Amino acid sequence: MTEKFAAVEIIAAKRDHGSLSDAQIDWVIDAYVRGVVADEQMSALLMAILLNGMNNQEVARWTDAMLRSGERLSWTELDRPTVDKHSTGGVGDKITLPLAPLVAACGAAVPQLSGRGLGHTGGTLDKMESIPGWRASLSNAEMLSVLKQCGAVICAAGSGLAPADKKLYALRDVTATVEAIPLIASSIMSKKIAEGTSALVLDVKTGNGAFMSDPNRAKELATVMVALGKAAGVKTRALVTAMDQPLGLTAGNALEVRESIEVLQGGGPRDVVDLTLLLAREMLELAGVHGKDPERALHDGSAMDIWRKMVRAQGGDPDAPLPKAREVHHVLSKESGTISSMHALKVGVAAWRLGAGRSRQGEKVQSGAGVEIHKKPGEKIQAGEPLFTLHTDEPERFERALDSISDAVAISKDGSIAAHLPLVVDRIS
């Protein structure tokens, strides 16, 4: 077969600040999936994109080419509109767990295809897999069955969805090209559009614990993704939300499941409840569902009923005890005062070092590992009181976790609190 283009010409065009044509983008994505474009050639092109950017047309076409590399799911058999949420991830971000059953309890269907964690940001599938028996991998028919039964499904994306992205994602991870906004946006949106949802709310995190720590960059990413969703016929909006301190009081897999269940029981930390309700209302409005109020669904048990049904439908036992780490270590405050600030990234790195996260794809995580937070900014603490409890199966991990978390908290004597981001930093609709 004679190829339409040569990879080296496309690399040179982007290296020299040129714009790639639709035909060039279509070919290079397809040729990379076929193995005609080698990893080293695609690595060079990704670096050129990182350094020189892409215009809106290029990003849209790149996303579309990745989308067309695989299948696109359809939920037309459902008797209710579909809506999904995607978060760019952070420390203690367990929002998907209470949110999916909550939105389902209010009348929409939520096909939530999720991923695993890498580094300090936790993965939804890793959290769910701490529930005994729960299964992440479902066929398309099984996904549809769970959605019909429960109104929500949380599972892994199948191999047929945007296969080009799977290859590119792994390559970006080892070539220092993860941070390019066109590549992040196209990666997320090709999968979300392929998922077949009719409406999508994006939760783009910003702050020291987020992938996009600069709010301006986070807004830029959110704006690009909203445009891509709308161009593909998906009703899309984005919230830029705070990740300069951990969400809730836990970071770690089973620890976060436990906290999510507290939210579904009508309790839980205020920040987790507030963000869950905020996103639920955005999702329901975008899907055009005006039934039950999400706050009532948290308190009357209907969201919890959906959670239990959904867990069972995927082989899990909602009544089984969650895994606990074999070892714990309490980090005590050295002084009295008011918690002024808490550095999300340092808490996340500590949880990762305890075994809650992975350093490379495929690595096994500890279900019970992580960090429990006893005081948050604005709260008073006495010397000798616990700040954190560290959980792990391997006590030799404590030392490195303590290196990260030892200076994660600032304490003020005069009751002052450091400036922090509002829960919602920006909104792009």
Domain boundaries, the chain: 7-53, 83-313, 327-412
Which of 191, 205, 375, 397 is an active site residue? 191
Q: Any idea which fold 83-313 has?
A: Pyrimidine Nucleoside Phosphorylase; Chain A, domain 2 (3.40.1030)
Query: Residue 403: is its pLDDT beyond 90?
Result: yes
- Catalytic: 191? yes
Least confident of 36-50, 309-323, 352-366: 352-366
Q: What is the CATH number of domain 327-412?
A: 3.90.1170.30
| pLDDT beyond 70 at 64 | yes
Catalytic residue among 69, 114, 187, 367: 187
Q: Across the chain, what does the average pLDDT equal?
A: 95
- 296 labelled catalytic: no
Residue 69 annotated among the catalytic residues of the structure: no
Q: Which of the following is catalytic: 94, 172, 205, 219?
A: 172
pLDDT of residue 390: 98
The residue-averaged pLDDT of 402-429 equals 95
Residues 6+ apart with CB under 8 A from 2: none
Q: What span, in angstroms and rounded, lies between the C-alpha atoms of 234 and 202?
A: 12
Evaluate if residue 118 carries a pLDDT over 70.
no
pLDDT interval class at 10 (50, 70, 90): very high
- Please indicate whether residue 17 is annotated as part of the active site: no
**In the chain, pLDDT over 90 holds for what percent of residues?**
89
The reported pLDDT for the residue numbered 3 is 93
Question: Given this model, what pLDDT does residue 357 score?
Answer: 86
Q: Which of 26, 84, 126, 165 is catalytic?
A: 165
Active site (annotated) includes residue 94: no
Which of 14, 61, 85, 86 is an active site residue?
A: 86
The pLDDT value recorded for residue 48 is 98
Q: What's the per-residue H, E or C state across the chain?
A: CCCCCCHHHHHHHHHCCCCCCHHHHHHHHHHHHHCCCCHHHHHHHHHHHHHHCCCHHHHHHHHHHHHCCCCCCCCCCCCCCEEEEEECCCCCCCCHHHHHHHHHHCCCEEEEEECCCECCECCHHHHHCCCCCCCCCCCHHHHHHHHHHHCEEEEECCCCCCHHHHHHHHHHHHCCCCCCHHHHHHHHHHHHHHCCCCEEEEEEEECCCCCECCHHHHHHHHHHHHHHHHHCCCEEEEEEEECCCCCCCEECHHHHHHHHHHHHCCCCCHHHHHHHHHHHHHHHHHHCCCCCCHHHHHHCCHHHHHHHHHHHHCCCCCCCCCCCCCEEEEEECCCCEEEEEECHHHHHHHHHHHHHCCCCCCCCCCCCCEEEECCCCCCEECCCCEEEEEEECCHHHHHHHHHHHCCCEEEECCCCCCCCCCCEEEEEC
Res. 119 pLDDT band, cuts 50 70 90? low
Contact 114, 96 (CB under 8 A): yes
